[in-house]
Amino acid sequence: MDQRLRSVIIKFFKKYGRTIIIVLIIWIIILTINFFVGKIDTEIKVDTNYKPHEAVMENGEVPENLQDPIEELIGQFVENCNNKDYEAAFNLLSDDCKKNVYPDMELFKMYVDTIFNTKKIYNIQNFSNKDNRYIYTVNILNDILASGLNGEEDDDVYSEKYVVFEENGELKLSIREYIGRDELTYMYEDDEMKIRIESVDRNYDYISYNLRITNKSENYIVFADYSEDYEIALETSEGFKRMANDVLETIDVMDGETKEFNLKYTIFFDEDTKINDMLFDYVRIYKDKESYENGEKPIDDFGIKIMF
């Protein structure tokens, strides 16, 4: 009986042994995987609508390694302003911002005293990113947790854009939506005049050209008095002209005089528009200023195009 049983069992395993082993191996693999997967700690994703580093404009991302430093930089700036530590706050600004927006420390103090008239809290939201410049909308408001929204102005929120970028290996801040200045060397010269486009200041929602114009003649020259559209316009890659923003002063130069002018155009920093040239469409030469004021016809009028 035993011998028969042994023989049957042996025959059985000879016939099905390989299948049994394969099944056993698969079973052990599944158990092992199940065991290790069960040991993995699944990170719970915390639900929040506050995602300060997700760009509103959906153009580019803030690198992960910069997110915390950017928050710290803006936090430090706000803290310094709250504490009226003007120097410390000023030192967090970029060189261009210090030089061109706040050339005078008193101006900066005035900004701080106006915006941070009481203790403020803030929140940030990444707005746009371009050319390694990270633009954040910063909302500054009264400390509502301390006041419980019981203050008259607690519902007021002051909003502006801060630009963060690396300068000399350090993260710096540019406030009041100012991006920076590019030095330029565009020029036009003839016997009567010299036009130099010396630099351009970039803000988030406009650019501003700084011009120096010399009148080499003995006549009076008018470059723009806004009697016509597009007297000084930018020609862009879009194929049409951009008109200067409203300017109150006439752009004119007396004989032998050199004057500086500033021309603003609405061009957003994150636009892909390329500027091809600046067009002075209606340059007029008068005998003198009196002739111009009397409505006399100019001696000469012409256009000038300065290619970029």
**Shortest Cβ 24–other proteins spacing (Å):** 10
224-229, long-range: CB < 8 A, 24+ apart:
224/250, 224/251, 224/280, 224/282, 225/250, 225/251, 225/252, 226/250, 228/281, 228/282
Residue 251, SS3 per DSSP? strand
Question: Which residue has 């004989």 as its token pair?
Answer: 255
For the segment 35-54, give every residue that binds other proteins (CB under 8 A).
44, 46-50, 52
For the segment 2-21, give every residue that binds other proteins (CB under 8 A).
4-5, 8-9, 12
Site string for other proteins, 236-275 (x = CB under 8 A): ----------------------------------------
The residues, ordered by sequence, that sit 6+ positions from 241 with a Cβ below 8 Å of its Cβ are: 230, 233, 234, 235, 279
According to CB under 8 A, which one of 3, 19, 114, 150 is a site residue for other proteins?
150
| Closer Cβ to other proteins, 36 or 240, answer by number | 36
**123 interacts with other proteins by CB under 8 A:** yes
**146 interacts with other proteins by CB under 8 A:** yes
CA distances from 152 to 113, 140, 147 (A): 19, 15, 10
Q: Choose the binding region for other proteins from 59-67, 146-154, 231-239, 282-290 (rule: CB under 8 A).
A: 146-154
**Shortest Cβ 27–other proteins spacing (Å):** 10
Backbone angles phi, psi at 281, to 5 degrees: -80, -20
To which H or E segment does residue 128 belong? strand 120-130
User: Beta strand pairing status for 133-142 and 157-167?
Assistant: antiparallel
**Shortest Cβ 120–other proteins spacing (Å):** 12
According to CB under 8 A, which one of 124, 195, 200, 233 is a site residue for other proteins?
124
CA distances from 119 to 74, 85, 112, 113, 150 (A): 15, 13, 11, 11, 15
**145 interacts with other proteins by CB under 8 A:** yes
Give dist(CA 302, CA 297) in Å, integer: 13
According to CB under 8 A, which one of 58, 65, 106, 149 is a site residue for other proteins?
149
Q: Choose the binding region for other proteins from 121-129, 181-189, 239-247, 251-259 (rule: CB under 8 A).
A: 121-129
**Shortest Cβ 123–other proteins spacing (Å):** 2
**79 interacts with other proteins by CB under 8 A:** no
Q: Choose the binding region for other proteins from 141-149, 183-191, 206-214, 238-246 (rule: CB under 8 A).
A: 141-149
According to CB under 8 A, which one of 38, 148, 169, 239 is a site residue for other proteins?
148
Give dist(CA 198, CA 193) in Å, integer: 16
Question: Measured in Å, how far apart are the chain's first and last C-alpha atoms?
Answer: 106
Binding stretches for other proteins (CB under 8 A): 4-5, 8-9, 12, 44, 46-50, 52, 121-124, 139, 141, 143-150, 157
